Amino acid sequence: MVQKFNNHIVTDLPFLKEKKLLVACSGGLDSVVLVHLCAALDFDFTLAHCNFSLRGAESDGDEEFVRQLASKLGVECFVEQFDTGHYAETQRLSVQMAARELRYQWFDELLQSKRLDYILTAHHADDSLETFLINLSRGTGIEGLLGIPEVNGTIVRPLLPFSRKEILAFAESEGIEWREDGSNASTAYLRNKIRHEVVPHLKELHPAFLQNFQNTQHFLGQTNDLVINHLKELKQKMFRHEKGVVKIQISELEKLQPLDAYLYGLLSEYGFTEWNDVKSLLGAMSGKQLISKTHRLLKDRDCLMLSKIEIKANTSYAVHLNETTSDLPIKLKLEEWKTLGETAENVVFLDKEKLNFPLVLRNWKKGDYFYPFGMRGKKKLSKFFKDEKMDLISKEKQWLLCSDEEIVWVLGKRADERFKVEESTQEIVKITWHT
């Protein structure tokens, strides 16, 4: 029994031998067996225990158990207490998701600060089956039916091929002690309901159910790889990169069948997972757009334009006289000047006395208007943009230089009539945009 576990690790995960490992240990059966395996294999490891403070004295008992296990084995043990309930509330997560996030955040910190190489967790075949059934119960795509990878970046799961039953047999044959997790015994959680009520019946359907299930997940993983390859080829063919924007010909998209699945496959990685919305966008008027957390998808005549949303820490910046900006998104130089020089796309001359310093650099907002240089009246910026035939993304990227609330210069496009140098002007400011 022990041999079977050792063999798997030595044969399939040989790189662990020479590394510094962090073994996540709750004190429960699976992780305690993993710890004993690491000790038996003479690995260089330390323990990490998360106390999620969810079960009062029981949680503290687990912590104490892990500390003692570490000291018995003569290895170091890191312990961290989390206020999981609070985190879940503030982050609007389920308690299980919150615990998961806290756990991996802390492991990553430990890995970096202690210069360790890999985190080992005790996930096993039954965990994969449970996750599969949870996702199935909620409705999912192929991704939700795939297994957890045995090696994923710095996270390694050496027990993944083994069943809970095998792990239990291992523990019993070696006289290993562990802490029963009180929450396992109840069916309060979906996972426990699956573990105790669904899985035992499933396993009765076939003597090799779990092995067959692992094969199925392996095949599904390969099928998913084919899909990934297919979509990658399609993207190479269809996505035209132009100045930070990806242009996609709508007529080419519409050829793809099934369209829903292709829209999802091509655009989900940019946060557009509602293919129905994307489908309506294909036939929408120019200018319509979808916004994901990270990207913007804009319909522009016969194309979709995909661009990253730039996260602006601050949407307006102060620009001082006699200074060249250095930590702003663009470089502006404001100088006092003697005479009116030649205006250019990136240079304007303005009447200093009409301006209130510091000036303000910001993007367009709804309702903006200005008095275009050389014209008598005022004009809405939206109208000005339209006349300039600017697409939505260019509009959003457009910088404006303002004096208080009044627009002084639509950068690169037009200055404002109100601030122009006149005969009466006493002092001139030259503004240069170093593009």
Residues belonging to the binding site for ATP are 26-31
Q: What's the min distance (Å) between Cβ of 273 and its own copies?
A: 12
Q: What's the min distance (Å) between Cβ of 203 and its own copies?
A: 9
For its own copies, the closer of residues 225 and 336 by Cβ is 225
Annotated binding site: 26-31
Task: Mark out the alpha helices in 141-203 (DSSP H runs).
Answer: 142-145, 164-173, 182-185, 190-193, 199-203
Please report, for residues 353, 421, 428, the alpha-carbon distance to residue 424 in angstroms, rounded to integers and kept in the order given.
11, 8, 11
DSSP conformational letter for 9: H
Q: What's the min distance (Å) between Cβ of 204 and its own copies?
A: 7
DSSP-assigned letters across all residues of 389-403: T--HHHHHH-EEEEE
For its own copies, the closer of residues 71 and 94 by Cβ is 94
DSSP-assigned letters across all residues of 350-380: EEGGG--SSEEEEE--TT-EE-BTT-SS-EE
Q: What's the min distance (Å) between Cβ of 236 and its own copies?
A: 13
For its own copies, the closer of residues 79 and 231 by Cβ is 231
Give me the amino acid identity at 46: T
Q: What's the min distance (Å) between Cβ of 141 and its own copies?
A: 4
Give me the amino acid identity at 260: D
β-bridge partners, 399: 363
DSSP conformational letter for 195: I
Give me the amino acid identity at 48: A
- Three-state DSSP at 125 gives helix
Tokens of 319: 């620009």
Q: Within 13 Å, how many C-alpha atoms sit on residue 422's CB side?
A: 10
For its own copies, the closer of residues 102 and 145 by Cβ is 145
Are 387 and 379 contacting, i.e. CB atoms less than 8 angstroms apart?
A: no
For its own copies, the closer of residues 86 and 255 by Cβ is 255
**Which residue spans within 25-176 are E strands per DSSP?**
44-51, 77-81, 118-120, 151-152, 155-156
- In degrees and rounded to multiples of 5, residue 377 shows phi and psi of -95, -175
Task: Mark out the alpha helices in 41-145 (DSSP H runs).
Answer: 57-73, 84-91, 95-113, 125-138, 142-145
Q: What's the min distance (Å) between Cβ of 267 and its own copies?
A: 14
For its own copies, the closer of residues 37 and 210 by Cβ is 210
Q: What's the min distance (Å) between Cβ of 148 and its own copies?
A: 18
Residues that bind its own copies (CB under 8 A): 133-134, 136-142, 144-145, 190, 193-194, 197-198, 201-202, 204-206, 208-209, 211-213, 215-216, 219-220, 222-227, 229-231, 233, 257-258, 260-262, 265
For its own copies, the closer of residues 197 and 335 by Cβ is 197
